[in-house]
Structure 1
Amino acid sequence: MNTLATGCHLRARAHHLQQGAAQRGAAAIEFALVLPILIALLYGIVTFGDLFYTQMVVTRAASDAARAVSALPKSADQNAQQEKANSVAQDSLRATYPVLPEGTNALVNGDRCTVGSAEQISIQVNFPYRGMLPAITLPVVGTVGWGNRPLVGCAVAQV
């Protein structure tokens, strides 16, 4: 009787071990199916965060340039405004990006204009964005990425 109980116990233990191995195999397959989705999600979060941050930096550069141009004397001509806007915008961008991509510039949109009772100046900063991560290709979705697109920051300042 003792040997019969031991035999049943061994068979039950062997069956339990086989189920454990099957469970581990299923977990590995589930992980292999979910991992690409998690990587794509992480990629999207990182690249969108970088794009959003860069857009904030470009908009801040436009704001800094507008503030600096609005502080110029009213007698300043368009060239002086343009030089000041480019200088201040590029200095502001260099605080975050020490090497600026070719094509980065600030444009003074027209002369000072009067809106209501106040004069205003408008600045547009163009920044050719290069993504921090390369674009990736996903099986069903195709190529995903936000790299290599122009970002524009605009600001208006009262004179």
Structure 2
Amino acid sequence: VFAIPAFAYGIMVDARTGKRFINELADRKIRADAILKINKNPDGSLTHPVVICDSVGATGTTKANVYRGLHKNVIKKFDSIEELAQFYSIPYDGLKKSIDDYNSYVKSGKDLEMGKPFFKLDGKVVDISKPPFYAWRALPKVHHTMGGVKIDTEARVYDKQNNIIQGLFAAGEFVG
């Protein structure tokens, strides 16, 4: 739930470099593929990208969502970008440049790097400059799938030979 404001009012960076690698508002499939692509290190280990927004961007969701993320220890809160970079082992210079570049794009009204559209929050386009800063490691999650089991208007499930499986019904996300 917190991903929406952070993607809209923040950036996602490769934790190994501090650089942006995707338009944060690209569709889920494009983002997921990009995350999985940069996720794998040559030694087979994983490095999850980090999503960052500031205190203003965090207001794009409810306080309850931010609290829940902090309480569950998924979202981390930092007083400075230096502290955030150190916690996630992100090269500070790369992260600072990405944030500075992003903030200049916000000011100019055009994301020259990734083409991300900017949205207003309380009448203003939001940069990443007002502490505290919020961050978490990103990884794709299943929100919906394309395909799944075949059902009819009575929610009866069909097998591969297009026969109804007696007594088996599916609806909603189970169908995906």
Q: TM-score over 0.5 for the alignment? A: no
- The TM-score bracket by the shorter chain reads under 0.3
Q: TM-score, normalised by structure 1?
A: 0.21
Q: Which has the higher strand share?
A: 1
Greater C-alpha Rg: 1
Higher relative contact order (CA 8 A, sep 6+): 2
